[in-house]
Amino acid sequence: MHIFVTGASGFVGSRLVQVLAARTDARVTVAARGSRFTCATAERVVRFEDLATASFSAELVGVDAVVHCAARVHVMNDLEADPLHAFRQVNVEGTLNLARQAAEAGVRRFVFLSSIKVNGEGSEPGVPFTADQPANPVDPYGVSKMEAEQRLRELAIATGMEVVIIRPVLVYGPGVKANFLSMMRWLYKGVPLPFGAIHNARSLVALDNLVDLTLLCLSHPAAANQTFMVSDGEDLSTTGLLRKMASALGKPARLLPVPAVLLSAAACMLGKRSLSQRLCGSLQVDIAKTRAVLGWTPPLSVEQALKLTASDYMENEKK
């Protein structure tokens, strides 16, 4: 099997390429933005600057499946004058440019890593998002991912190339960055945090669980032209997550029981409404369809995944 992976320099794409090399005998071609990227485990490296105009025709000949991880990712403080246009250029036009060339080259399957933001920013407690409910994106990133999904489905109908869409929730694991890394640093240093009384529920997905599902979607017959949610199968409150993370780090969780309503009010006063939603709001997904259609079960528990994440963090902190 010959697999073409985009975003191979990113958090998910790089791990996917590593696991492909370790667990399969697939030939792997990787594509990444910029001229400095290298990948020792790939048969070939394709470099590009603009995904919306790049030509991959020659490299896609003989490829069986594409995994499209590359994207313009969500950022907290976007400086673009027109963020929606910037997201569409990469996440919609770039995705369709690659997918059209894949279909023309005879690629059998196109696996697209989308986002839970297609469903929305938050769910009602106990009412998880499902893969087949109407989309309700709120921000430009979510809109661009929704539009890419729609265009890919149209392309699948027009060309016969199978499309599989995966909508991850927050992904964590060794090498994680951004807010998750900041929380680990605070916990490791013993900083008291005002998050001891948050009773929300949020779905997360360990990096290796996401990669495992992605590998399955490359070849499973029932995955064709389906959309799947992915998570660890265990939802946690922010307070519960921090306690489990502190335990994985071997540190006490110094969590102060500040009411969530006060945290939300303070965040809104500071113009941090989106941060308040992530800390205090709920976002759950239902992976029942993923389990039933594919027979998939997350191989790692939350505790196992957090231990791997914490071990990697502590090892790198010592360097």
pLDDT exceeds 90 at position 281:
yes
Q: What is the reported pLDDT for 4?
A: 97
104 inside domain: yes
129 inside domain: yes
Residue 313 annotated among the catalytic residues of the structure? no
- In the chain, the number of structural domains is 1
**Contact yes or no for 172/182 (Cβ under 8 A):** no
66 inside domain: yes
184 inside domain: no
* DSSP per position, 54-112: ---HHHHTT--EEEE-------SS---SSHHHHHIIIIIIIHHHHHHHHHHTT-SEEEE
pLDDT in tens, 22-81: 999 999 999 988 777 888 888 899 999 899 999 999 999 999 999 999 999 876 556 777
**Contact yes or no for 34/47 (Cβ under 8 A):** yes
Q: What is the domain-level CATH number for residue 162?
A: 3.40.50.720
Handedness of CA 72, 74, 77, 81 (dihedral sign): positive
**Contact yes or no for 317/255 (Cβ under 8 A):** no
When pLDDT is cut at 50, 70 and 90, the band that residue 230 belongs to is very high
Catalytic residue among 141, 172, 188, 313: 141
Range of the domain at 116: 2-172+204-232+284-298
118 inside domain: yes
When pLDDT is cut at 50, 70 and 90, the band that residue 296 belongs to is very high
pLDDT exceeds 70 at position 319:
no
pLDDT in tens, 231-265: 999 999 999 999 999 999 999 999 999 999 998 88
Mean pLDDT over each residue of the chain, to the nearest integer:
94
Q: What is the mean pLDDT of residues 116-120?
A: 97
Q: What is the reported pLDDT for 76?
A: 55
